[in-house]
A and B are shown apart, each in its own frame.
Chain A
């Protein structure tokens, strides 16, 4: 359940924002999860809820909005763009588990569908990101 570690990062970031901005309550966290990392939402949501409880009232009013970003790749060699769904059937469960932990290892297992190059960019949908944290003083 390494989702806990990532949820911990989100909550810790919100705590830092609250301290820096002198916020008494965090009211909203908007964030995104990249499809490539395949975060298990049930584990992630549970971890967020448990971690928020460890900070008193700071997160008592918090609404968390999470959107999933589809993964898009672009080949640096030929310029071809593709989606994770175009190649994921070539990835077995063990491989997906490896990418789940460290998304960059996608470069070990995924190749450009057009020219077979391993030199590609993960344009979007890599992993965890925070779009905004809002609170009240």
Chain B
């Protein structure tokens, strides 16, 4: 018979306005930082925002935002804690930050379990920090988060965009909504990503310059909000709302 958890996932997500999956196909292109700061930026604009770290084997949004000493509460499911205005859910609440070695089917099972039992507030935005790769998590996200829009990250590098392009083409083939592409960790202005957006009919959502001072702000919201990186992501948030 049908997995019963699938019957309630739509219900659990029905009070969410827009779901944005932050992806890019590759690891190390800033998905966690962008997802976390985008959530924060939208929240500071007055929106109700949730952040779901779906990188089950390597969750790190809690490190970016300095989230600790909080946990979900139980009430007819689990209710994620709200920290700095963002309702936050991550597998890290259940793993003690220990290594979490999961194969593909187990990742899918864990995602379904999280979506089945998590009760979000009424949200204007749910930001999903996607894991790298074009595999189980991507297909689960497309299947389980009906209507989710993808925000793709790329650096200015042709090498990185080569992977991002594969994800973009796949999403376009599957008719999945694409919010647009953000050029991240920008060091120089070569116009390459903007040109690629035009070529592949994807909106260009903005650019985030590499900020060498950001590392010192990690985990501290007040310091984060003073960084140029946050201001750049705030600009991306303006383009989204």
Task: Please determine whether chains A and B interact with each other in the same assembly.
Answer: yes
A residues less than 8 Å from B11 (CB atoms)? 8, 12
Q: Is there a chain A Cβ closer than 8 Å to B220's Cβ?
A: no
| Binding site secondary structure of chain B | loop
Q: Is there a chain B Cβ closer than 8 Å to A64's Cβ?
A: no
> Is the CB–CB distance between B117 and A13 below 8 Å?
no
Docked pose: A9 CA to B118 CA in angstroms: 12
Q: How many residues of A contact B (CB 8 A)?
A: 33
Contact with B along A61-103 (1 / 0, CB 8 A): 0000000000000000000000000000000000000110111
A95–chain B nearest beta-carbon distance, Å: 8
> Is the CB–CB distance between B4 and A12 below 8 Å?
yes
Q: Is there a chain B Cβ closer than 8 Å to A54's Cβ?
A: no
Which A residue sits closest to B103, measured CB to CB? A119
A residues less than 8 Å from B238 (CB atoms)? none
B residues less than 8 Å from A128 (CB atoms)? 4-5
> Is the CB–CB distance between A130 and B2 below 8 Å?
yes
Which B residue sits closest to A128, measured CB to CB? B4
Q: Is there a chain B Cβ closer than 8 Å to A124's Cβ?
A: no
Partner of A104, one of B4, B8, B76, B102: B102
Decide: A108 near B117, CB < 8 A? Known: A2-B74, A4-B76, A12-B7: no
Decide: A103 near B4, CB < 8 A? Known: A5-B76, A108-B96: no
Q: How many residues of B contact A (CB 8 A)?
A: 33
Which A residue sits closest to B94, measured CB to CB? A98
Decide: A108 near B2, CB < 8 A? Known: A5-B76, A5-B116, A101-B78: no
Instruction: Pick 18 A–B contacts, CB within 8 A, sort by A.
Output: A2-B76, A5-B119, A6-B4, A6-B117, A8-B8, A8-B11, A8-B76, A9-B7, A9-B8, A13-B4, A98-B96, A101-B94, A103-B113, A108-B96, A108-B98, A108-B100, A126-B109, A129-B4
Give 20 A-B pairs besides A107-B101, A132-B1 with Cβ atoms closer than 8 angstroms.
A2-B76, A2-B77, A5-B117, A8-B77, A9-B116, A13-B4, A101-B94, A101-B117, A102-B110, A104-B107, A105-B91, A108-B98, A108-B100, A126-B109, A127-B113, A128-B5, A129-B3, A129-B4, A130-B4, A131-B1
- Ranked nearest first, the 7 interchain pairs of A and B with the lowest CB-CB distance are A5-B77, A98-B94, A4-B76, A12-B7, A104-B110, A9-B4, A5-B117
